[in-house]
Structure 1
């Protein structure tokens, strides 16, 4: 789909990219350019090399938490192909399962309320929400920021900035439908 991107790495390539320091640059680019980035980690010998297992675990944690990239392990090339096929089928299926947008816990403090609002923007988690608020100072300034101004914030790439502006600037279609239905009654 237009939203999902898959980076496939063998376990050897994953470890090599930690050593030559390209892993986090690749992760940043993937997370900035796509709504739902995935990393397929192919192979079962991740911890068999010369790199300390804690360095590998730390890298995996950073990919998942800092960059918001889901990690899917596969055993071999055939398993990877089957996984990619399953992802494609799921993404191309028009019947999406609805998800709950809000949790039961309501924000109490002003800071929690501000973070709650900013985190509701597309592809904005706690880290990017804090970065946006630190950069712009207020929720209103974030809402009024242009795509290029949004991209000045660390962690906000072109795609995320476009998605934020699209949500802010798009007309609420349900309201339009509701008005038409009331006029017809």
Structure 2
């Protein structure tokens, strides 16, 4: 893949959302890695934060929403919150009213954050594809790899730190991390939980639970990292 081609950079925690796979099927060049800010980055100046309708409501309640928006504005020229899902369905079991949702959306727009609402992952992917195509036409001859943005996060909320900590586990999205923390109350209780206790959390199936247990119980083996690094750089271990 040529470096001159515009790419869409995707946070690796988005892999299970279905959106990256659809974008790839559409022919969009994607790069999946851990992003510091945002879920999708197009070119150097567009950052997109994707949230399900339920996660959007959670971020209003725990006050993460505007903190995330501020970090996005500090990092990108254009910031977009992509909200995916059916609010009518979610509000059936949440103690939140539409005026709170609309108030949050208006506040985001007051901050100069763009907002897009889609029904499902297919519509989300189509929106990102359309945005990508527009940028590709405008900048295909002058594209540069995005520089790594270092944002100094002062006064980061403790709930956001906890959400980010739990969502580093394989297969654990921010939404599932929120459910885990609501169930166990603290990360330490989650780390000490047995398989049976983990099964009580909605969204944690046997496959995810096995991976969590594997990460927590496997002895650290730094020589494996060294072997992987050598393989990626084309070097072979000389046995020393």
Q: Scaled by the length of structure 1, what TM-score is found?
A: 0.48
TM-score with structure 2 length normalisation?
0.38
**Greater share of helix residues, 1 or 2?**
1
